[in-house]
A and B are shown apart, each in its own frame.
Chain A
């Protein structure tokens, strides 16, 4: 599995929120969605997804509900709440700012100093 990056602990929450913002998903679906939107570049421990989901539910960012998956299994679907949406916007902004800052820092050439 070369080319896959281990994600940092805090970022899993952000990715879950993003995945859920594209429509209600069950746990396995979120996992697939993250793989899909990151084009398989991110490695996620499957089991670690669930404590994160429970955490986001407790924080009121996700809303769980039971439904039936496309292969006819009962599954718990997670849907983004309005405060989850707000949080996602905020975190995305913060993330972009951080990435820009670090990229510009790393892109600095010797003559620019």
Chain B
């Protein structure tokens, strides 16, 4: 009944607005007329009776407004009025509106752009069913460095896959390079060997054909391959006959049974997948951590439960196989997070920085709106006098700020389509293909929703702040005043507090930006210890069939080195297994030190293993620390030697020269011979995430030849001009050999840190925006305060105040606000930078000079922003000022 009545009055309220207004008028008029009749009857003259009746009735407009509020649907109607009013205001003060909308759009846009990255890379890196249940499992020896070392010994992996109380399914895989084709057309392809349940576990299905069956994991039945969409289109031009056809891999014939969809590129963008078949010896191996493991957790099993179970499992393995498994613990990490262990804090930092930019923008806008409220005090007082309650005024201000924020949201979304595209294109595709989810960076539904929510929230907060700030108006005084509205000390304090808060936010943001940029700059110089300029790299992979033994491999590479070294302009030519900035971790090896007690497998130290030709060090200009470099004399028949890195020398022979000492690669009982350390060379950063002082062992190529090597050339001129020369040399030796990964080392170095660099640039942009917003904020508050104090300043000038003293007065105000802000922000920034240094280990480190530098910078900005208002104050003409109001 009540609801019906409400709806009816709502409907009639909306439908017959003007009629209702007219009726309300008539009703009140009739009341006053009736009253006047009565008063007249009691003996008053008509005019006096009418006057008395009106006074007795009270404020008609106020009661009308109250009536409108009591009537249903009033809020809707008044909202519409307010929105129209807001729009009129928006159009009327175009300068103000443009400034407000742009400021907010900057803040909202920054958040939208960063969120589009977070959304794609962190929230949706892969499109697998129930992504959160997929976990990577690996055995941690506690002494391995580098974060790519996530492998499991094959025998342990087999036992793990029977562990079905936590896992629904477990798959193992490893990456392999294959030689595709036969005869003169051999090409290297990157492939992945997987167990038959690999695709089922990820719950992906092929675009065409079928997946592997369990029987195909058996030796003999394993000559089947599933190829990537890119392989099919790139190498076979999308020929449908590829399915069911045969290709030759490493000289064996494989039938192609399936083609994967375009967006499937797990674990990395490989070209094909083949069944993982291990020999019985390989299967029984517990010593070498060689396989990668991915599991799907059972429904209801949490990551913590899985971790606890895995810990118990590794303790059992430790007891059963102490010789191999001592000190090993199984660890688990969500697949989603695996790739971002390192970059997650960076993304969060970026998102936080974007949030700070928005806060600063809000601070500025609040200042602008509050400043305008002073001008509108009379309007507000009038509205209150006419019966607008606080709620009604609040609705008015809310609709105004919401209009601004929504307009800013629209601008931000429009701009983010372009900015997101720019963001995506800012990093070379050759590199971003390794970043799952990168192609998904776009303005999608999630990004839109978040942007709209942010815009709405911003408008709400600003509107509410305005309501709290502006609706306390002293009616009588304000309405009586003739000059522009004045500000109460309390309100001035609010605006000063806003500036203080802005100083705080800006400072914290600047310090974060400064620390990250400094870290990134350090990263850009991270590849020290060698000279990337004028160096060319080419990957070469010899097919097993044509090069079955060391002699042929060595022969090929000797001819290649001789041929390329004699190209005019080539200063050095050499081979290395894994050149710096390759984005791939080097193979690692255990080693034992001669003369020291032998260590158990679990405790033996490990080092990166590199195979190099003598000229490698000269090619990259790596310095010799002690002993000698590798030389041509270290041939296959000569005594076994290695060269080690300075970091390794200092760690394992502290204070001593390791030259002449002997080490043995592999575990203590391995068949490897003892080798002599011939020399120590300078440290080289392998990849930006590896520590600089990571131990490296360089073996001479002649003593351990390998089919896949990278050719490095140091050239006199532009390195890329030598590519055709190399091709010619290779073609003369063996026309069937393809060149792969041709690039200058300089390109590799800058590409490999591209994502890190773009983050540095973004942080830098945020920092700059923060500075601009801050100076606008300080300037706004100071000019306002000068305008407010015109009279006071005029009196001071009239009484003979020095202009210098005035300058000091105004600038002192600016400096005081900055100092208070900094006083709060300094300890906060100190704590944050400490936290950042531990989170983003190796990039960010505490730096007091940055804190000091930005403190000075903010004072300068405050002075600069205060200078204009101060000059204006000095120029005030006392006569004009005193007549001001």
Seen from chain A, the residues whose Cβ lies within 8 Å of a Cβ on chain B are 26-28, 31, 45-48, 50-52, 54-55, 57-60, 66, 69, 71, 73-76, 83
User: For B27, what are the chain A residues with a Cβ–Cβ distance below 8 Å?
Assistant: 26-27, 50, 75-76
Contact present for B63 and A75 (CB under 8 Å): no
Complexed CA–CA distance, A69 and B1 (Å): 30
Complexed CA–CA distance, A54 and B56 (Å): 20
Whether, in the assembled complex, B305 has its beta carbon less than 8 Å from a beta carbon of chain A, the answer is no
Complexed CA–CA distance, A52 and B70 (Å): 8
- Give 10 nearest A-B pairs by CB, closest first: A60-B5, A47-B58, A51-B66, A47-B63, A54-B70, A28-B34, A55-B70, A54-B67, A46-B57, A28-B31
Q: Contact partner of A28 among B5, B6, B35, B69, CB < 8 A? A: B35
Q: Which residue of A lies closest to B24 (CB)?
A: A50
Whether, in the assembled complex, B30 has its beta carbon less than 8 Å from a beta carbon of chain A, the answer is yes
Complexed CA–CA distance, A46 and B31 (Å): 9
User: For B30, what are the chain A residues with a Cβ–Cβ distance below 8 Å?
Assistant: 26-28, 69, 73-76
Q: Contact partner of A60 among B1, B59, B71, CB < 8 A? A: B1
Q: Contact partner of B70 among A58, A69, A73, A74, CB < 8 A? A: A58
Complexed CA–CA distance, A5 and B506 (Å): 59
Complexed CA–CA distance, A74 and B31 (Å): 10
Whether, in the assembled complex, B444 has its beta carbon less than 8 Å from a beta carbon of chain A, the answer is no
User: For B69, what are the chain A residues with a Cβ–Cβ distance below 8 Å?
Assistant: 51
Q: Which residue of A lies closest to B2 (CB)?
A: A60
Q: Which residue of B lies closest to A28 (CB)?
A: B34
Beta-carbon contacts under 8 Å, B165-196 to A? none
User: For B28, what are the chain A residues with a Cβ–Cβ distance below 8 Å?
Assistant: 47, 50
Contact present for A54 and B23 (CB under 8 Å): no
Complexed CA–CA distance, A57 and B10 (Å): 12
Q: Contact partner of A58 among B5, B57, B66, CB < 8 A? A: B5
User: For B2, what are the chain A residues with a Cβ–Cβ distance below 8 Å?
Assistant: 59-60, 83
User: For A54, what are the chain B residues with a Cβ–Cβ distance below 8 Å?
Assistant: 67, 70-71
Whether, in the assembled complex, B37 has its beta carbon less than 8 Å from a beta carbon of chain A, the answer is yes
Whether, in the assembled complex, B392 has its beta carbon less than 8 Å from a beta carbon of chain A, the answer is no
Whether, in the assembled complex, B33 has its beta carbon less than 8 Å from a beta carbon of chain A, the answer is yes
Complexed CA–CA distance, A45 and B26 (Å): 19
Q: Which residue of A lies closest to B35 (CB)?
A: A28
Complexed CA–CA distance, A50 and B37 (Å): 20
Besides the known contacts A58-B72, A83-B1, 17 further A-B residue pairs in the complex with CB atoms under 8 A apart: A27-B30, A27-B31, A46-B31, A46-B56, A50-B64, A51-B66, A51-B67, A54-B70, A55-B70, A57-B9, A60-B6, A71-B34, A73-B30, A76-B26, A76-B27, A76-B30, A83-B2
Complexed CA–CA distance, A31 and B58 (Å): 14
Complexed CA–CA distance, A33 and B71 (Å): 24
Seen from chain B, the residues whose Cβ lies within 8 Å of a Cβ on chain A are 1-2, 4-6, 9, 23-24, 26-28, 30-31, 33-35, 37, 56-60, 62-64, 66-67, 69-72
Complexed CA–CA distance, A45 and B69 (Å): 18
User: For B34, what are the chain A residues with a Cβ–Cβ distance below 8 Å?
Assistant: 26, 28, 69, 71, 73, 75
Complexed CA–CA distance, A57 and B6 (Å): 9
Contact present for A47 and B70 (CB under 8 Å): no
Contact present for B33 and A45 (CB under 8 Å): no
Q: Contact partner of B23 among A47, A55, A69, A76, CB < 8 A? A: A76
Contact present for B31 and A51 (CB under 8 Å): no
Least CB distance, A46 to chain B, in whole angstroms? 5
Least CB distance, B25 to chain A, in whole angstroms? 11
Contact present for A74 and B26 (CB under 8 Å): yes
- Interface centre among B23, B27, B59, B63, by most chain A C-beta atoms within 10 angstroms, is B27
Complexed CA–CA distance, A58 and B69 (Å): 11
Q: Which residue of B lies closest to A75 (CB)?
A: B30
User: For B60, what are the chain A residues with a Cβ–Cβ distance below 8 Å?
Assistant: 47
Least CB distance, B522 to chain A, in whole angstroms? 70
Complexed CA–CA distance, A76 and B319 (Å): 96
Contact present for A51 and B63 (CB under 8 Å): yes
User: For B66, what are the chain A residues with a Cβ–Cβ distance below 8 Å?
Assistant: 50-51
Complexed CA–CA distance, A31 and B57 (Å): 11
Given contacts A54-B67, A58-B70, A69-B34, contact A47 B5 (CB under 8 A): no
Least CB distance, B836 to chain A, in whole angstroms? 57
User: For A46, what are the chain B residues with a Cβ–Cβ distance below 8 Å?
Assistant: 31, 35, 56-58
Contact present for B71 and A47 (CB under 8 Å): no
Q: Show 24 A/B contacts (Cβ-Cβ < 8 Å), sorted by A.
A: A26-B27, A27-B31, A28-B30, A28-B31, A28-B35, A45-B58, A46-B35, A46-B57, A47-B63, A48-B58, A48-B63, A50-B63, A52-B70, A54-B67, A58-B5, A58-B9, A58-B72, A59-B2, A60-B1, A66-B23, A69-B34, A71-B34, A76-B30, A83-B1
Contact present for B31 and A58 (CB under 8 Å): no
Given contacts A60-B2, A73-B30, contact A50 B67 (CB under 8 A): yes
Complexed CA–CA distance, A60 and B4 (Å): 9
Contact present for B70 and A51 (CB under 8 Å): yes
Least CB distance, B28 to chain A, in whole angstroms? 7
Complexed CA–CA distance, A50 and B67 (Å): 7
Complexed CA–CA distance, A29 and B37 (Å): 13
User: For B9, what are the chain A residues with a Cβ–Cβ distance below 8 Å?
Assistant: 57-58
User: For B24, what are the chain A residues with a Cβ–Cβ distance below 8 Å?
Assistant: 50
User: For A27, what are the chain B residues with a Cβ–Cβ distance below 8 Å?
Assistant: 27, 30-31
Least CB distance, B37 to chain A, in whole angstroms? 6
Complexed CA–CA distance, A76 and B22 (Å): 12
User: For B6, what are the chain A residues with a Cβ–Cβ distance below 8 Å?
Assistant: 58, 60
Q: Which residue of A lies closest to B29 (CB)?
A: A73
User: For A73, what are the chain B residues with a Cβ–Cβ distance below 8 Å?
Assistant: 30, 33-34
Complexed CA–CA distance, A76 and B59 (Å): 20
Contact present for A58 and B1 (CB under 8 Å): no
- Interface centre among B26, B34, B64, by most chain A C-beta atoms within 10 angstroms, is B34
Complexed CA–CA distance, A52 and B66 (Å): 9
Q: Which residue of A lies closest to B6 (CB)?
A: A58
Complexed CA–CA distance, A59 and B60 (Å): 23
User: For B63, what are the chain A residues with a Cβ–Cβ distance below 8 Å?
Assistant: 47-48, 50-51
Complexed CA–CA distance, A87 and B26 (Å): 29
Least CB distance, A35 to chain B, in whole angstroms? 11
Contact present for B71 and A58 (CB under 8 Å): yes
User: For A59, what are the chain B residues with a Cβ–Cβ distance below 8 Å?
Assistant: 2, 5
Least CB distance, B143 to chain A, in whole angstroms? 78
Least CB distance, A18 to chain B, in whole angstroms? 19
Least CB distance, B107 to chain A, in whole angstroms? 42
Complexed CA–CA distance, A48 and B67 (Å): 9
Q: Which residue of B lies closest to A32 (CB)?
A: B38
- Interface centre among B1, B5, B60, by most chain A C-beta atoms within 10 angstroms, is B5
Complexed CA–CA distance, A69 and B27 (Å): 12
Complexed CA–CA distance, A27 and B6 (Å): 21
Q: Which residue of B lies closest to A30 (CB)?
A: B31
Least CB distance, B343 to chain A, in whole angstroms? 59
User: For A71, what are the chain B residues with a Cβ–Cβ distance below 8 Å?
Assistant: 34, 37
User: For B62, what are the chain A residues with a Cβ–Cβ distance below 8 Å?
Assistant: 47
User: For A76, what are the chain B residues with a Cβ–Cβ distance below 8 Å?
Assistant: 23, 26-27, 30
Complexed CA–CA distance, A50 and B71 (Å): 11
Least CB distance, A33 to chain B, in whole angstroms? 13
Complexed CA–CA distance, A46 and B62 (Å): 12
Q: Which residue of A lies closest to B53 (CB)?
A: A46
Q: Which residue of B lies closest to A57 (CB)?
A: B9
User: For B58, what are the chain A residues with a Cβ–Cβ distance below 8 Å?
Assistant: 45-48
User: For A74, what are the chain B residues with a Cβ–Cβ distance below 8 Å?
Assistant: 26, 30
